[in-house]
């Protein structure tokens, strides 16, 4: 009788192990996706800040002292 009960319980243990493995794989895939997404956001942010710095550089506003020295 004990042998029969132990044989009936083994598939449940295998199912629990399989379920844990599925969760580990699912979480691994989600983490890899999140890391890829964060890298893409980082690259886009750096590009936007670089574009902004180039635009500010192009403004080239002269100070009043420079304007006076050129006008003389």
**Alpha carbon distance 54, 58 (integer Å):** 6
pLDDT digit string, tens, across residues 18-51: 788 899 999 999 999 999 999 999 999 999 999 9
Give residue 56's pLDDT. Answer: 86
Taking residue 13's Cβ as centre, other Cβ atoms within 10 Å add up to 9
Q: How far apart (Å, rounded) are the C-alpha atoms in residues 16 and 19? A: 5
pLDDT band at 57 (very low <50, low <70, confident <90, very high): confident
């Amino acid at each position: 009788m004990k042998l029969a009960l132990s044989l009936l319980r083994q598939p449940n243990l295998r199912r629990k192990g399989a379920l844990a493995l599925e969760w580990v794989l699912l979480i691994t895939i989600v983490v890899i996706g999140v890391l890829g997404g964060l890298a893409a956001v980082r690259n886009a942010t750096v590009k936007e800040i670089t574009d902004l710095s180039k635009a500010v550089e192009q403004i080239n506003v002269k100070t009043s002292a420079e304007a006076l020295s050129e006008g003389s």
